[in-house]
């Protein structure tokens, strides 16, 4: 494809503006949670894959953690298995866990791997069970009970919490010049499988690796204030205040809590970014403006 002079000049301008970021982030680990619209829209999916490949080619070490809630729900409906949620988490009995493993560990994971590889990358798909990457335990929900002062414990099945991330598994892949693509399925001490929130897994992976950035793709522009304006450039102390005064509430709380924990745990910065924006990952890495909310300890 040939470019006219003006287009060529624009390309050169973009490349030179990106150079300081490339120099700054060469050799750094970037953990990206992939989900939402970007996963189900074929064009956004390809653009995401190209972003990840480009990051690898310029010397960064991207690691992808993916979700797959809509795909799981779709297959459960086809199999006439009822979906039930408690506090936003899918109740996961043995039959549901079989579907979760099939969708996350096979269908979704291998599709992402294939798309990255078709665009020039070297991706390898793994679940948290491979090499005991993600050690997990059963997550139980506590709820206050009117009948007693002791909280009610609710068992939601094969839903897990991360106990440990074995970074050696990831180091082997990254040092081999591969792009790890992780399905958020953990393994218990008895070999049982656990369905774990993908944001949580991405945050824990970023924390263990002391990543430069944790990027959580979502379906909103970012963290909004009470006037629906996107907030960015936030310190962890500012985020704590926004939670305390109720600005951050509802469905955004778990995602923000994940980002906050990661930054407090040693990740340099966390980003809540709009995955509906084409090339959202590159825009967040290579521009000052970005496309979402940035949280760090360095503001």
Q: Is 145 exposed, middle or buried (0-12, 13-18, 19+ CB in 10 A)?
A: exposed
Coil, helix or strand for 229? coil
Of 208, 184, 189, which is closest to residue 261 (Cα–Cα)?
208
Cβ 118 vs Cβ 49: under 8 Å: yes
Dump pLDDT digits (tens) for 56-102: 999 999 999 999 988 998 999 999 998 888 777 788 889 999 999 99
User: Inter-axis angle of helices 252-264 and 236-244, to 10 degrees?
Assistant: 150
Instruction: Compute how many other C-beta atoms are within 10 angstroms of the C-beta atom of residue 85.
Output: 11
The structure's pTM equals: 0.90
Q: In terms of C-beta density within 10 A (0-12 exposed, 13-18 middle, 19 or more buried), how is residue 22 classed? A: middle
- Over its length of 299 residues, how does the chain's per-residue pLDDT go in tens digits? 556 777 677 767 777 788 888 899 999 999 999 986 678 788 999 999 999 999 999 999 999 999 998 899 899 999 999 888 877 778 888 999 999 999 999 999 999 999 999 999 999 999 999 999 999 999 877 665 555 555 656 768 899 999 999 999 999 999 999 999 999 999 999 999 999 999 999 999 999 999 999 999 988 878 877 777 888 888 888 888 888 888 787 777 888 889 999 999 999 999 999 888 888 898 888 877 677 888 887 65
CATH topology classification for 26-296: Carbamate kinase (3.40.1160)
SS3 115: helix
199, 216 Cβ separation under 8 angstroms: yes
Would you give the DSSP letter of residue 84? Answer: -
d(CA 61, CA 196): 23
């Amino acid at each position: 494809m040939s470019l006219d002079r003006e287009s060529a000049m624009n390309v050169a301008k973009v490349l030179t503006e990106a150079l300081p970021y490339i120099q700054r982030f060469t050799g750094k680990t970037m953990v990206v949670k992939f989900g939402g619209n970007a996963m189900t829209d074929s064009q956004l999916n390809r653009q995401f894959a190209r972003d990840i490949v480009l990051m690898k080619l310029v010397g960064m070490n991207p690691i992808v953690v993916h979700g797959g809630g809509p795909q799981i729900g779709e297959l459960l409906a086809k199999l006439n298995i009822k979906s039930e949620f408690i506090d936003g988490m899918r109740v996961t009995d043995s039959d549901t866990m079989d579907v979760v493993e099939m969708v996350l560990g096979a269908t979704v994971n291998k599709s992402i791997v294939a798309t990255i590889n078709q665009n020039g990358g070297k991706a390898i798909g793994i679940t948290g069970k491979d090499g005991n990457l993600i050690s997990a335990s059963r997550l139980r929900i506590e709820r206050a009970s009117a009948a007693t002062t002791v909280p009610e414990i609710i068992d939601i099945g094969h839903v897990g919490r991360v106990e440990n991330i074995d970074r050696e598994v990831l180091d082997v892949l990254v040092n081999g010049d591969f792009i790890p693509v992780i399905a958020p399925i953990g393994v218990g001490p008895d070999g049982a499988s656990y369905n774990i929130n993908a944001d949580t897994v991405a945050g824990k992976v970023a924390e263990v690796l002391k990543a430069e950035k944790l990027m959580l793709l979502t379906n909103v522009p970012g963290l909004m204030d009470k006037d629906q304006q996107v907030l960015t450039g936030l310190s962890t102390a500012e985020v704590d205040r926004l939670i305390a005064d109720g600005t951050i509430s509802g469905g955004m709380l778990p995602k923000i809590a994940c980002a906050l924990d990661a930054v407090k745990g040693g990740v340099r910065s966390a980003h809540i970014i709009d995955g509906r924006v084409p090339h959202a990952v590159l825009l967040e890495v290579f521009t000052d403006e970005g496309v979402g909310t940035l949280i760090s300890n360095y503001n």
